[in-house]
Structure 1
Amino acid sequence: MAIPSFIPYRLRTLSGEAFVIGCAAVGGALFALLDVPAAWLSGSMLLVSVLGVTMRLPDLRKPWFDSTMIMSGTLIGSSATPEALAATARYPGSLLVLLVGMIAIMLATGAYLRYVARWSWIDALLAAAPGALSTVIAVAQAKGANIGRIAVIQLFRILVLVAILPSIMKLTGDMAVVPQAAVPIASIGDAALVLGAGLVTGLIFERIGITAPFILGATLSSSILHGTGTVHGTLPPEIATVIMVMLGAAMGGRVSNLKRGEIAGLFPLAIGGFVVSLVVAFAFAWPAAWLAGVPYANAMAAFAPGGLEAMAMLAFAMGLDPLYVGAHHLTRFMILGLAMPFLVVRFKNEPPKD
């Protein structure tokens, strides 16, 4: 989107960001009118992604993204009521299945990219990693891997998951989750407390170098405040809608940073890798759902190989169990973040031999 150069830089930046956010809101509204599941998140991300392929979109600046992460973490953590925390005793078996499934996803998808696309093992495994995109990109840069094509595969998987996973879950017929009781809206004082705690914790996490500090910090502080009964209620639904639009704008806008020719050339491989990842993930989701005693739709969202932010908010939008889904994605995020540098350390960035 070209903005006249005579307009001051700050105003041009705000105009570009407003355009992206406005497009995201339009996409979410269209999906809401069509009654698409998780409309505001999937619609906003999809429309901004499509526009990002056809034109250069500005990235939302760090304050926009960080504030969105803080509010997202606050929403996710608000599900950690004392009753919900008591139910987490069912999760260990499911989390163990997750670890095995995560290895299977990386090996299966990595082997596909290694032997079908003829990629090096480093590129293949980094592209196959189910989530933790920021860590994956950091490791790829340190190892001299092909960041462009890794990012294409990773972003394609996240965007398509957000766009189609709600409909897939609905088609399984397992979306008949027991209706949840109406969640009270937090008072102004409680909302200010939990948001302020999320900001402070996020700043501390950022200072000590933790990846994705603001969503992790806000989720942790919100979970503690709600789990101890210090804070009651969640943010108003109107704010939740705004958060989903902002997240859709931020995630979808990443596509604009990719080279158009690279996207087109990697599209068939991205589809194949996505199918392999999803089939393996859903295969492991079934025993996990049985062990945890949760509907299969919850396990599908928990095992879907997407990013922590998008998948946790998707669960919230779908009326699933954010605590169950978030716990699994947080566990996978942390394990990948810690283990990824060591997993690829022995591989050289070279294609397979014929």
Structure 2
Amino acid sequence: MDATRGSISSTSTQSTKDESIGASNPFVLRHGRRYLRDLPYPLPCDLPEFQRQNLHTLLSTSVFGRPLGSTPTPNQPLTKVLEVACGSAYWSSLCHDYLEGLGHKDVTFTGLDVVHLAGDLKKQGIDWRFVQHDLRKVPLPFDDGEFDMVVMKDLSLVVPLGSPSQRVLDECTRILKKGGTLEVWETDHIIRSLLPHPPPPPGKNPEEYACAVSTATFLISPGTPFTDAQNKYLQDSNSWIQEALDRRKLTPTPCARVTQILLQEPETLCDVGYRRVAIPLGELRWEREAVADRNPSKRRESEPVKGKKSVAESLALTEEQASLRYTALLVVLQMIESLEPLLKEVSGKNQEEWHRWWGWMMADLLEHKGASSGECLEVGVWWAHKV
């Protein structure tokens, strides 16, 4: 995976000139970032955040091996796909290319969001349209059974817990045709540490396991051994994110909830499946040690020769695997950056204190490889069919 490498500053700026904020403008400037006006959505709506979300989508589709969790079949052809809260609609473009490669050439895509942020996908040869709608208002502006697939992607920071999320789920199910597929994509916003040498999940899917091995990621099952994050800066951000999202009735760990939510809909949804993956944020100590143990005659001191990698460092991960993990670390750091106003509020830090903490965290995680104790970004995709 060719991750975009670059520095991250603690204060992002708009790359384009911001227009004055008027009553008809859906955006407002706060703390130098552009946000949706009068909506509880906690993330900014500006170019740095769009780039982070696109990078996150690319990362997730890379570790899953494709932009769909479910598998299209001749008995369930896809002709109409809806991406809920589509943002830049990058997922739709990836899915279009994937389906076209499988021979599904007549698929139409619809993106729904509260504001129009996506470019014109028709210029990419995609049969695509945008529908503007606020998810807080039901019903959704579609007919019963209109779509073959509805994708609810990264809604954990969009829709509050409880009745609002249930209404959105009910609506997405209503507009699915019988036998249609509902997909849910989510990411946990709290970082956990994977304990050394996790066993493969029981009854693992060979294709999914091979993908995990090739990407140096780990399939997650109920028995996968995790512990709290070991890095002190990620411990800080975890506690602040937990409090900030709790205040807004948003969940910091959606991946732990989705399976149960879908299984609680037996009258409308069946054939529930899922795939969860842990992406380490760097090379793990126990991976390096395992490589050294396999090469005792080539074992070196922990400090490599200047300008050269140790045997363990050079063999534990391929360049592609290391790049993928670096991308996961970037996604985490950029997420903390995007949540800066909320995290400063709950942490009680002033601007100077925040900058100091941010600098220490960046140096620890980027320069000193502080996420080497199993810290992982956890992503998941779930699917079910409408009864």
- Fold similarity call, TM over 0.5: no
Higher strand share: 2
Higher helix share: 1
TM-score by length of 1: 0.25
Which structure would you say has the larger Rg? 2
Q: Which has the higher contact order (CA 8 A, sep 6+)?
A: 1
TM-score by length of 2: 0.23
